[in-house]
Structure 1
């Protein structure tokens, strides 16, 4: 995870002045000991993303990841999908029996 605003660093206990200086000198500041991770639930048969924070040597704080955290992570797939991919492409990719051009009906 990374921070690109001073307020994000202040929420994690950094002083306002230090946070402003870091963000001014770097485009993005890496945040150590925090990450997003997906877990599969056997009960509901769904994947849920969690925000994990390392608190101590062997202790962690785990909470369901809020949507705004996706803007602060690198190396994970956005839960809403790639915003540059259109809805048509997304639907086509999910089709089981994709047939390419034969799957289209042309009207003459």
Structure 2
């Protein structure tokens, strides 16, 4: 349904989880700011059961086999060019709500004291 959003590793532990030795992971991250993780990406797919778009972590196991799992929150930090569907956790609810409003009616949220 959507384009593939490539995953990147910026910490040695992220590479070690995928089978790389500690020494190689440390050297690679030290020499490059971010390392592309081959065969893994995030992608939005249509769910037939719930009739909604869901984000999945896709892993290519071999030429014809893929593993799908719900995209965990920590993977959103390893992707470039995509917005976290839960929103930025550092933004307050007031700001989030007002960013979605169109028009000038949002002045009603402010109470002026004279």
TM-score range, shorter chain: 0.7 to 0.9
Aligned residue among 28, 43, 47 for 2:53: 47
Q: Which structure 1 residue ranges, 5 or more long, are not aligned?
A: none
Provide the rounded CA distance (Å) in 2 between the counterparts of 1:13 and 1:39: 27
Tell me the C-alpha RMSD between the 2 structures: 2.4
Q: 1:37 aligns with which of 31, 40, 43?
A: 43
Post-superposition Cα deviations, 1:59-87, rounded to whole Å, max 9, x if no partner, equal: 21111111111111111111221345332
Query: Could you tell me which residue of structure 2 aligns to residue 74 of structure 1?
Result: 80
Q: Which has the higher contact order (CA 8 A, sep 6+)?
A: 2
Larger % of strand: which? Answer: 2
